Structure 1
Amino acid sequence: MSTPHFTQQHPAGFDALVRLAATEPITPEVDHFYFLRHGQTGRNASRIFQAVDEPLSELGQQQAARAAERLAGEPIRTIVASDSRRAFDTANTVAERLRIVPMPREDLRERHFGALIGTSSVDLDWACAPEGGETLQQFVDRKRVALRFALAQPAPVLVVAHGGTLYVLTALLGVSIEPAVLGNAQPLRFQRTGPTWTIEPLLARTTEAASLA
């Protein structure tokens, strides 16, 4: 498996996330699946560490609806989603169009940043060990288990989760990240050819990626 290549500036400590994920990659048996980051929230746009109950903003709701419209044409059979409000509301918007009941998963939540919640994420350091929160090792290990479970469900699968999930997922698969895949509610199609995975954004990029925490 190749080492992921990242083409834009990433937060401090991000190399550590990649190294931890790469120690035990995942090898899904499927040849394709879909990923959707949640729509934008108020704190997301303001770059503030969020709690699990942070709701979608009006823009985030619009983004989720746009993603649902695009994904309605894809042959998705299963939706597995973080049970955080912003992700599960996004998943439900898509699920209504696809007539699928989404499966909520606590282990797909964003990293728990403990005492940092409610503070600025501008200087996010993935290698930090926040008081009352998860270490980076704990976060990567949790995501590995969660993604293995999600991608073992009846295919094609749509995973609806968070920016941190996407970072770990790409590192686990050895996929390069381009800026276009990082935006809120950007539907992504992951495709495998032999051992190599690629990512296809399914919507034109309209806004810059917001905070990933």
Structure 2
Amino acid sequence: MTSAAPPQLTGHARGLDQLIALAAAQPLSPATDHFYFLRHGQTPRNALRIYQSYDEPLSPLGLEQAALAAGVLAREPIRTIVCSDARRAFDTAHTVAAPHRLTPVAREVLRERHFGCLVGTSSIDIDWACAPEGGETLPQFVDRKRAALDAALREPAPVLVVAHGGTLYVLAALLGVPVDAAVLGNAQPLRFERQDGGRWTVRALRAADGSVAALA
């Protein structure tokens, strides 16, 4: 599926236009008509805005966010959960999987971008177009995510993908979907759905009281 115009990704991070262009050059066209996505809960280094390693745990708030997301997603007819094997996504996925009595399928290819020598430094001025020493370039990252998401969405549907913010940026661009602050939060459950004509949309799922699921 292609869109008439590239999606807009809000925020001030540099390099997002390059990410959009790379992903949109080879868009995804999943066979399913809907699926779910969940970014992991908050981590200590999320809060400090520091590039993190794959073993970074959830913070106490992140654990609470994951539990809240589990309550929201328990109402959805999820059949398969595929997750990044990075600790923060793996633990979030297992929390969400419990009400469904499912075992998440963990895949290394769904990990966040490897930022190499930048890990442990400030990510406040993140530039997605950078090529960090010892890490992935943006084209390598987008290609990896395209293949990983394509494989995940071939699993028995409906599928829930539990991964990272970078994954969400690529996924949105692959489907031609604009994203904003309402869908980018930690542990905010999302439903992607294909509309008539093939256009994809995304919406944040809400708790039973009508509130957005993710905690501030």
Q: Give TM class, smaller chain.
A: over 0.9
Relative to structure 1, the CA distance from residue 7 to residue 150 in structure 2 (aligned partners, 3 Å threshold; closer, same or farther) is closer
Which residue does the alignment assign to 2:203? 200
Q: CA deviation at 1:9?
A: 2.1
Task: Tell me if 1:108 matches 2:110.
Answer: yes
Of 181, 184, 194 in structure 1, the residue corresponding to residue 183 of structure 2 is: 181
Of 86, 94, 97 in structure 2, the residue corresponding to residue 95 of structure 1 is: 97
Task: State how 1:18-167 maps to structure 2 within 5 Å.
Answer: 18-167=20-169
Gaps of 5+ in 1: 209-213
- The code of the aligned residue for 1:157 comes to V
Q: Is the CA contact 1:183–1:205 (under 8 Å) kept in the aligned structure 2?
A: no
Q: CA deviation at 1:5?
A: 3.2
Counterpart CA distance in 2 for 1:118 and 1:133 is: 13
Give the superposed CA RMSD: 1.2
- The code of the aligned residue for 2:16 comes to F
**Matched residues, number:** 208
Which residue does the alignment assign to 2:16? 14
Please give the TM-score of this superposition, normalised by the length of structure 1.
Answer: 0.95
| Structure 2 residue matching 1:81: 3-state secondary structure | strand
Q: CA deviation at 1:8?
A: 2.9
Of 4, 7, 17 in structure 2, the residue corresponding to residue 5 of structure 1 is: 7
Relative to structure 1, the CA distance from residue 157 to residue 206 in structure 2 (aligned partners, 3 Å threshold; closer, same or farther) is closer
Counterpart CA distance in 1 for 2:110 and 2:148 is: 6
| Structure 2 residue matching 1:62: 3-state secondary structure | helix
- The code of the aligned residue for 2:32 comes to V
Please give the TM-score of this superposition, normalised by the length of structure 2.
Answer: 0.94
Q: CA deviation at 1:179?
A: 1.5
Counterpart CA distance in 2 for 1:200 and 1:44 is: 23
Relative to structure 1, the CA distance from residue 205 to residue 74 in structure 2 (aligned partners, 3 Å threshold; closer, same or farther) is closer
- The code of the aligned residue for 1:150 comes to A
